[in-house]
Copies of this chain bind each other. A is one copy, B any other.
């Protein structure tokens, strides 16, 4: 079988949301592009992460909300229909069928090649399909690696042999296991613990460190741990799992200090690693399995034509940041193809400045945790002159109208030299949509003095902004 050869301006490895966005931007910019994908078009986010996890969580969230409003709660006399919730989750993943997204790719003027793409020296990618056929692609302008990341398995004795769930199985499971062990208390572990505990599992979270959600403000992990326990889950901090085995149908985890935890399934959610083991990294002088080291335009250090965008560069492993990087890198590729200057000053259209100073994230637990920018600890580490202010969201009129007994916290980290916000964290029910105000304030570097003129509408929960400003003024 002779090898087909094709050339494009841009070859994109990986058709997750990041790859789709890179291809879309460069095609809109007049370049030709092909997406290479061995699995489902749409990637982790569409099928095994954001979409199914949020669909699993939404019913629980809204039922908690209605149960906290006297007068409305009397209408709730039944329980969540778990079958229907799982079916709704299935609909959000299109039943793991990517034909809709593949159709979008075509309509956007992007070519799609199904198969595994591997670099084969400069500007070259060889795609091998399921039948072993190959296509050799030449990229006139750029090869963009958007292969993302995958769950990593920690070096725990026996863990590789117990059939542990990765986040993929946790988001796509067809039924709630009776007992679910969750190894890891980061955002995936916390979200899945929240979801499955509500959907019928008895969940045990085993976290090696002293708190859940360790990268965020400590109040976040504390609130989520308390809420998980209130919901009936068992949350064990400072618990170091050192062994795993199957005992009949049971999975058994053993800890450093000799305790045992038994479940029907175990979800391993202790981190991710770059999906670069099988992309031909060595043919261009890179180390397989390592994150791609990129500059602010997401171009691989030292290369003129290779980019690493999204999870694969290890900067910020979030769907929305992958898409953001895709827009910035795409703009840079188009400008460079036209021979135009690409301004690499902070906040230019070609650089991903927000990666460094204004990355938003929402953990869809109950309570939710929404944060952007630096935590107090990060500001401290970076040696920035700052002051931290905190205010209970439950004392805001809009919050008490929203839910009887609303409990939550807002934390702002203020740069005391520049008088701008470095970061903001909200912990509480339904805080997800409060976040973008903070993101705009951080990104826009809006001075505190000006923020006083940004009046929150009464009585919304957003009035927390006024209290934070008052707390900062002292």
Question: What is the interface of chain A, defined by CB distance below 8 A to chain B?
Answer: 45, 50-51, 54-55, 58-60, 62-63, 65-66, 69-72, 74-88, 92, 318-321, 323-324, 327, 347, 349, 353-354, 358-362, 370, 397-398, 400-402, 404, 430, 432-437, 439-444, 446, 449-463, 465
Q: In the complex, which of the residues A70, A81, A440, A459 has the most CB atoms of chain B within 10 Å of its own CB atom?
A: A440
A465 to B397, CA, bound (A): 27
Q: Smallest distance from the beta carbon of A72 to chain B beta carbons, Å?
A: 4
Given contacts A433-B462, A434-B436, 15 further A-B contacts (CB under 8 A): A50-B458, A62-B62, A63-B66, A63-B72, A65-B65, A71-B81, A75-B76, A75-B77, A77-B78, A370-B457, A433-B461, A435-B457, A435-B460, A442-B454, A443-B451
A45 to B454, CA, bound (A): 20
| Contact A451–B457 (Cβ < 8 Å) | no
Q: List 17 A-B contacts (CB under 8 A).
A: A51-B401, A58-B72, A58-B402, A59-B72, A62-B65, A62-B72, A70-B85, A70-B88, A75-B80, A76-B76, A76-B77, A88-B404, A318-B458, A349-B449, A433-B461, A436-B437, A444-B451
| Contact A453–B458 (Cβ < 8 Å) | no
Q: Do A460 and B432 contact each other (CB < 8 Å), given the known contacts A321-B455, A454-B358?
A: yes
| Contact B354–A454 (Cβ < 8 Å) | yes
Q: Smallest distance from the beta carbon of A376 to chain B beta carbons, Å?
A: 20
A134 to B457, CA, bound (A): 38
A358 to B454, CA, bound (A): 8
* Across-interface contacts of A321 in B (CB, < 8 A): 455
A435 to B455, CA, bound (A): 10
Q: Smallest distance from the beta carbon of A177 to chain B beta carbons, Å?
A: 18
| Contact A444–B450 (Cβ < 8 Å) | yes
Closest to A327 in B: B452
> Looking at the complex, which one of B58, B327, B370, B453 makes contact with A358 (CB distance below 8 Å)?
B453
* Across-interface contacts of A77 in B (CB, < 8 A): 75-78
* Across-interface contacts of A60 in B (CB, < 8 A): 72
Q: Smallest distance from the beta carbon of A26 to chain B beta carbons, Å?
A: 15
* Across-interface contacts of A78 in B (CB, < 8 A): 74-77
A88 to B443, CA, bound (A): 40
| Contact B320–A455 (Cβ < 8 Å) | yes
Closest to A82 in B: B71
* Across-interface contacts of A59 in B (CB, < 8 A): 69-72
* Across-interface contacts of A72 in B (CB, < 8 A): 58-60, 62-63, 80-81, 85
* Across-interface contacts of A360 in B (CB, < 8 A): 455-457
| Contact A401–B71 (Cβ < 8 Å) | no
* Across-interface contacts of A80 in B (CB, < 8 A): 71-72, 74-75
Q: Do A51 and B457 contact each other (CB < 8 Å), given the known contacts A76-B75, A402-B58?
A: no
